[in-house]
Amino acid sequence: MSDATTTDIPVDLESKRLTVTRPDIRFDKQGELGDDERVQKAMQHFAKDFGYIAANYMEACVHCGACAQACPFYEANPDPKLTPIWKLEPFKQAYKREAGPLSFFYKTLNLKSKVTIEQLEEWQELLYDTCTMCGRCTLVCPMSIDIATLVGMARHGMFHAGLVPHELYTVTEKAEREGSPLGATPKVFADRVEWMEDEHEVDMPLDADKADVLVLMSSIEIQKYPESMAATGKILNQMGKSWTFHTEGYEATNFGMLSGNTQWQKDMTMKIISTAEKIGAELVILPECGHAYQALRWQGANMLGRPLPFKVQHISEFLAEAVESGAIRVNKVDKSVAFHDPCQVSRRGGATPAPRKILEALGVELREPESTGNLNFCCGGGGGVITIHRADSLRYKIMGNKLEQLDATGAEMMVTSCSNCRQNFDDSGEKLHWDKQMNSLLELVAENLVEDTKS
């Protein structure tokens, strides 16, 4: 850990002002590896990702800088080092020197120097603290480089080198050991289900031997927004679905993916897949969690090594189909609404139209913010960033920009379909004295469900 003085960083939101004391600069390390061993581990795992696709991406960059203007972190603090493609420099440096078609010349002439432990320590903050892997940079890149995916790959090497921010490593290890990053163990989950059943008088099957639908929840919902569990149950019961929660596979959040440990990512994913196969589920419904959608819907088959034997839907996709088909009906909500698109569900996941179909069925007046849909401005808390304390000051600045866009719509109600985004709005909104709150799309549907609907 290096020595540095703290810096007070002001965050302005109209007349509101928040001063956040930035913690001392630190380089977190796990394990007892020496510096040379850490570099070797990083290089070894960087190399595992130097396949055809990654190579094409790294050869294609023309250094145009378009990605910088798309990045919410650069927008909040226009420091050149926050340019998305620069965050990949050690990864790219290792590729050019060790694996690229001109690696002999890069190494012999030292056109790309050997990656050092000092670089890896410095880039820890760039790869973890200042990137949510939101994919806005990917969307605007004229060479179609998937920068967000490359950041995820670079994190693989950082994890195995023992260079992960301490808070993120801690919750990831807890998830691997206990089944949940926030302590929502199987017993805690079962207790929450029973509590919500009694509180809301909703039947919620648990550990059914057979069910057509397996429903997952994120640790944030289980611990902070448990009403989401009751809302899901109410809707599925109304539709007459054969469904269940299951204590052997319930946690949707995958911190293995966020931290860069592919084995732990696979372990977390396989719990869900094994449970779904065990009960014969034809559909797995993911909760309001963006990165859970990425982990199972788009990366689950890679972890399994074959196509998933069931369909995967984010809850917003499931609800959109339900209202379109008439499987459920909802009362009209006489309010204006601004919707925050979760990056991993919308831009990265392709489910942008789903929440708008739901909001249309609810009859709200949708007021889109300046940056919306696939170009939505990230809330700044995804990708594990919300867990890292030293990232708070910049995260709050990003949220300040986001809140200004939402407030500019003049909407009466703010809605999203990601519990991690919602938690970030709650935390940052409190710090920034925001006079509104972020609401759950799922819960909004459940609250306005026409109860005499038959499936």
**pLDDT score for 25:** 66
- Using the 3D structure, point to which of 163, 198, 218 is the last residue of a domain: 163
Q: For residue 102, tell me if it sits in a domain.
A: yes
Do 232 and 144 share a structural domain? no
The two tokens of residue 184 are 């929502």
Closest CA to 287 of 322, 251, 321: 251
Do 429 and 299 share a structural domain? no
The number of domains in the chain is: 3
Beta strands in 297-378 (DSSP E): 311-314, 336-340, 365-366
Q: For residue 37, tell me if it sits in a domain.
A: yes
- Using the 3D structure, point to which of 301, 320, 339 is the last residue of a domain: 320
Q: For residue 24, tell me if it sits in a domain.
A: no
Q: For residue 258, tell me if it sits in a domain.
A: yes
Do 85 and 192 share a structural domain? no
* Contact between 362 and 448 (Cβ < 8 Å): yes
Closest CA to 416 of 452, 455, 454, 382: 382
**pLDDT score for 435:** 93
Q: DSSP 3-state assignment of 129?
A: helix
> One digit per residue, pLDDT tens: the chain, 455 residues?
333 333 444 555 454 445 555 555 678 999 999 999 999 999 999 998 998 889 999 899 999 999 999 999 999 999 999 999 999 999 999 998 888 888 888 888 888 889 999 999 999 999 999 999 999 999 999 999 999 999 999 999 999 999 999 999 999 999 999 999 999 999 999 999 999 999 999 999 999 999 999 999 999 999 999 999 999 999 999 999 999 999 999 999 999 999 999 999 999 999 999 999 999 999 999 999 999 999 999 999 999 999 999 999 999 999 999 999 999 999 999 999 999 999 999 999 999 999 999 999 999 999 999 999 999 999 999 999 999 999 999 999 999 999 999 999 999 999 999 999 999 999 999 999 999 999 999 999 999 999 864 44
User: Which CATH number covers residue 261?
Assistant: 3.40.50.1860
Range of the domain at 364: 327-447
Rounded Cα distance between 427 and 206, Å, is 32
Quick: pLDDT tens for 61-101. Answer: 999 999 999 999 999 999 999 999 999 999 999 998 888 88
DSSP alpha helices (H): ranges in 201-299?
A: 219-223, 227-238, 255-259, 262-279, 290-293
Q: For residue 158, tell me if it sits in a domain.
A: yes
Rounded Cα distance between 391 and 382, Å, is 12
* Contact between 286 and 197 (Cβ < 8 Å): no
Q: For residue 173, tell me if it sits in a domain.
A: yes
Rounded Cα distance between 442 and 313, Å, is 14
Do 100 and 149 share a structural domain? yes
Do 427 and 315 share a structural domain? no
CB-neighbour burial class of residue 367 (10 A; exposed 0-12, middle 13-18, buried 19+): middle
Do 308 and 180 share a structural domain? yes
**pLDDT score for 22:** 54
- Using the 3D structure, point to which of 320, 341, 373 is the last residue of a domain: 320
Do 50 and 94 share a structural domain? yes
Question: Phi then psi for 381, rounded to 5 degrees?
Answer: -110, -5
Do 177 and 155 share a structural domain? no
Do 245 and 213 share a structural domain? yes
Question: Phi then psi for 12, rounded to 5 degrees?
Answer: -105, 140
Quick: pLDDT tens for 287-313. Answer: 999 999 999 999 999 999 999 999 999
Question: Phi then psi for 438, rounded to 5 degrees?
Answer: -90, 135
Q: For residue 58, tell me if it sits in a domain.
A: yes
User: Which CATH number covers residue 41?
Assistant: 1.10.1060
